[in-house]
Amino acid sequence: MKKKLASIAERRQLLVAQAEQQRITLAKHIQPLKGGLSLADKSLNIVRYVKKHPILITGLVSLIGLLRPMGAVKWMRRSWIASLAMRGLRAWLTKAPPAEK
């Protein structure tokens, strides 16, 4: 029984050392991506905030509509096109790949 426990402990030590080495290697490889990932993270935070506070967007659009009606029309057109593009992109990304035969 002691041999088995010693073997398990030795294996555990080996796995912990491998995991530590993999973390170090991963940290080195991820370093160049940090800037882009940071920007993506900030963008997602903005999107989440806007989703939680839709009244802000409504107020902003209303204010633009009152101050610059033609500007509001342009932005409505742009947002409509963007929403259609996002729907198409979402549908394309969630589409299941064809089954292999």
- The per-residue pLDDT for 16 is 96
Q: Are 50 and 56 in contact (CB under 8 A)?
A: yes
* Average of per-residue pLDDT across 28-38: 85
**45-81 pLDDT, tens digit each:** 998 988 898 888 888 878 877 888 887 788 788 888 9
In a domain, 21, yes or no: yes
% residues pLDDT > 90 (the chain): 26
In a domain, 36, yes or no: no
Tokens representing 53? Answer: 């506070």
Q: Are 50 and 57 in contact (CB under 8 A)?
A: yes
Domains held by the chain: number: 1
**2-14 pLDDT, tens digit each:** 888 999 999 999 9
Give the domain extent around 24: 2-28+54-93
Per-position DSSP letters for 49-72, written without gaps between them: HHHH-HHHHHHHHHHHHHH-HHHH
